[in-house]
Structure 1
Amino acid sequence: MPEKIGFPSVSTNNPGLMRQYVQMFGNAAGQRRQRSEKKPIPDEQKDDKYFERRRRNNSAAKRSRDLRKRREDEIAIRASTLQKTNAILQTQLNHIKQRQAQLRFLLCTERVADPKY
């Protein structure tokens, strides 16, 4: 059976050491990697290819935001529907429990009244 490889734990406030650790072992804690610092692109390097990439990226980001919003809306609607259904089922359950209690009471009083039971 293959041996499991563990990641050593590191507790440090030294960002350089932490960066080395993450480079060596990966981000085992499941944390998101920090974004690199944003660097402005000089105007002389902005060609048609750059603007096309920016346009495509902006379009993809908008689609992603719209999709996430749509999913959140669908989840909210589903949650609302489930809450209403749950309330109806709770009411039905309470009525059934009340009816069960009535029938048990009738059964018990009938047994007391009839000596055959």
Structure 2
Amino acid sequence: MANARLGDSKRTLIATIGDEDSITGLLLAGTGHVTSASKKNFMVVDSKTSVAEIQKAFDEFTTERDDIAIVLINQHVADKIRPSVDKYEAAFPALLEIPSKDHPYDPEKDSVLKRVKKLFGE
């Protein structure tokens, strides 16, 4: 029934870009998926991960793939590609910034929350 509301969309997966602890927790919760073409719906970001690699994963999950319904990204990772995150306005996949173990959530940085506040004139 949920798919009927989304127009029988193929968008059924949650993609995640984040630190190892966040990704591990979400994989243990069952969000991991690897396509027949060996494309994963997650990316582990560490201190050696370049901004270009993060941007590439973000672009893949938000524009290239049609099976992703939600993209979760650690807020401290989103900060590295903040212009792209702030510019992203598509309804699907939905983009949500999440905290990590070592980096608390800051609502002042969240682009979605900023848009909601602007909509309500705050």
> TM-score normalized by structure 1?
0.19
Question: Greater strand share, 1 or 2?
Answer: 2
Higher relative contact order (CA 8 A, sep 6+): 2
Question: Greater helix share, 1 or 2?
Answer: 1
Larger-gyration structure (1/2): 1
> TM-score normalized by structure 2?
0.18
